[in-house]
């Protein structure tokens, strides 16, 4: 015997309540694995002694964490993980407001924001976890490829996350169709407007870190708006062109939102550091936000080009040529 749950002909709508929850949880799993891979890599890098510093400052071998490329990999791992965690936290806060805020219009706005965030938390965070855990193996060198360190296990654990509860392409299709094209890009543009307000706060600061983040955040937001316009305007007229760039669009949106959250963290961290609160921790937050802006967020214009101008080369090759 079966029982009707809810109203007839609304089953797909109800299913997405469950799916959004599952997708968010998978995104959090990606963030958790990335965090553990980062911790493991830092510990190894502080312990593994190999080679003298490239600047010749020390004449003997030293822990590899002193080497610039190791620092680059560790900072990449750290920035991705912290940024995705912040994005997920903001999405969770929006979910709470959508269900418990006393103002119905605020509830509606937060629900739209949360639903836009779900494919980003799931898609971007799990793709991120693959890169972070791969870097964790790289930091370990050959030791990372064998079972002794455990680094390779994190990589394997992360690999499934982009597949179950909907592949990255499925998340991207959702972002294009239900979250962008359906409302003409209005939710996406509303998020861009919030980011612009953060830019204004950054512009009011005289710190070099804030200005450096502002430069990249502004360019990434402007790039994002161009892509949103392309998706909203061309999804019906040229669906193949839009969906050829659907995953890059998801990655661009995720990159921007993570960069935005790290920019917000920079503003708070600078204030708290000036007040003498946990200065070392706050200084690290500022450095992490700037690293993300200069090494990850700055990829946004290239992604825009591949989406808006690169669809033809995706579909150009005849099927028999594959």
What CATH number is attached to the domain comprising 50? 1.20.140.10
Whether residue 269 sits in one domain with residue 221: yes
Residues 26 and 157 in one domain: yes
Residues 15, 19: Cα–Cα separation, whole Å = 6
> The tokens of 3 are what?
């029982």
Same domain, 197 and 77: no
Residue 158 within any structural domain of the chain: yes
pTM, two decimals, is: 0.94
Q: 46 in a domain, yes or no?
A: yes
3-state secondary structure 206-254: CCHHHHHHHHHHHHHHHHHHHHHHHHHHHCCCCHHHHHHCHHHHHHHHH
User: Based on the domain organization, do 180 and 140 belong to the same domain?
Assistant: no
Residue 1 lies in a domain: no
Position 19 in a domain: yes
Does 250 share its domain with 159?
Answer: no
CA–CA separation, 249 and 313 (whole Å): 16
Domain closes at, from 134, 149, 166: 166
Where is the domain boundary, 109, 134, 166? 166
pLDDT of residue 148: 85
What pLDDT is stored for residue 193 in this prediction?
Answer: 98
Domain final residue pick, 123, 140, 166: 166
Q: Same domain for 124 and 194?
A: no
Do 24 and 162 share a domain, yes or no?
yes
In this predicted structure, what is the pLDDT of residue 1? 82
Note the pLDDT of residue 12: 83
Tally of domains within the chain: 2
Q: Is 196 a catalytic residue?
A: no
Torsion of CA 249, 251, 253, 255, to 10 degrees: -150
Residue-wise DSSP of 3-17 = ---SSTT-HHHHHHH
Q: Is 63 helix (H, G, I), strand (E, B) or coil?
A: strand
Based on the domain organization, do 113 and 243 belong to the same domain?
A: no
In a domain, 321, yes or no: no
The pLDDT assigned to 60 comes to 83
Q: Is residue 91 in a domain?
A: yes
Of the listed 131, 165, 222, 320, which one is catalytic?
165
* Domain extent at residue 256: 172-311
- Do 217 and 162 belong to one domain? no
Q: What pLDDT is stored for residue 296 in this prediction? A: 98
158 and 27 both lie in a single domain = yes
Are 322 and 270 spatial neighbours (Cβ–Cβ below 8 Å)? Answer: no
26, part of any domain: yes
pLDDT tens-digit profile, the chain (322 residues): 888 888 988 988 888 888 889 999 999 999 999 999 999 999 999 998 887 878 778 788 899 999 999 999 999 999 999 999 999 999 999 999 999 999 999 999 999 999 999 999 999 999 999 999 999 999 999 988 887 899 999 999 999 999 988 999 999 999 999 999 999 999 999 999 999 999 999 999 999 999 999 999 999 999 999 999 999 999 999 999 999 999 999 999 999 999 999 999 999 999 999 999 999 999 999 999 999 999 999 999 999 999 999 999 999 999 999 9
Same domain membership, residue 153 and residue 115: yes
Residues 30 and 135 in one domain: yes
Specify if 7 maps to a domain: no
Write down the pLDDT at residue 19: 85
In which region does residue 171 sit, left (phi positive, over 0), alpha (psi from -120 to 50) or beta (all else)? alpha
């Amino acid at each position: 015997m079966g029982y009707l749950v809810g109203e007839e002909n609304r089953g797909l709508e109800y299913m997405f309540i469950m799916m959004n929850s599952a997708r968010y949880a998978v995104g959090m799993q990606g963030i958790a694995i990335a965090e553990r891979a980062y911790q493991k890599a830092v510990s190894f890098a502080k312990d593994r002694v190999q080679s003298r510093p490239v600047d010749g400052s020390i004449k003997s071998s030293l822990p590899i964490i002193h080497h610039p490329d190791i620092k680059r990999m560790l900072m990449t791992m750290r920035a991705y993980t912290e940024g995705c965690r912040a994005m997920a936290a903001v999405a969770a806060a929006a979910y709470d407001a959508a269900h418990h805020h006393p103002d119905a219009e605020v509830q509606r706005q937060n629900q739209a924001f949360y639903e836009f965030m779900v494919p980003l938390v799931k898609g971007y965070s799990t793709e991120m976890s693959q890169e972070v855990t791969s870097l964790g193996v790289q930091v370990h060198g050959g030791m990372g490829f064998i079972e002794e360190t455990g680094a390779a296990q994190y990589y394997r654990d992360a690999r499934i996350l982009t597949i179950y509860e909907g592949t990255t392409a499925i998340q991207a299709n959702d972002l294009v169709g239900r979250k962008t094209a359906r409302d003409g890009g209005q939710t996406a543009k509303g998020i861009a407007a919030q980011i612009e307000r953060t830019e204004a706060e950054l512009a009011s600061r005289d710190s070099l870190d804030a200005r450096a983040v502002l430069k990249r955040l502004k360019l990434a937001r402007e790039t994002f708006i161009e892509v949103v316009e392309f998706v909203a305007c061309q999804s019906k007229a040229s669906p193949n062109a839009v969906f050829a760039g659907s995953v890059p669009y998801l990655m661009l949106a995720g990159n921007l939102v993570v960069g935005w959250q790290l920019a917000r963290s920079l503003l708070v961290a600078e204030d708290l550091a000036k007040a003498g609160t946990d200065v070392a921790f706050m200084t690290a937050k500022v450095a992490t936000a700037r690293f993300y802006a200069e090494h990850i967020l700055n990829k946004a214009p290239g992604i825009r080009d591949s989406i808006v101008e690169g669809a033809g080369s995706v579909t150009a090759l005849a099927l028999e040529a594959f």
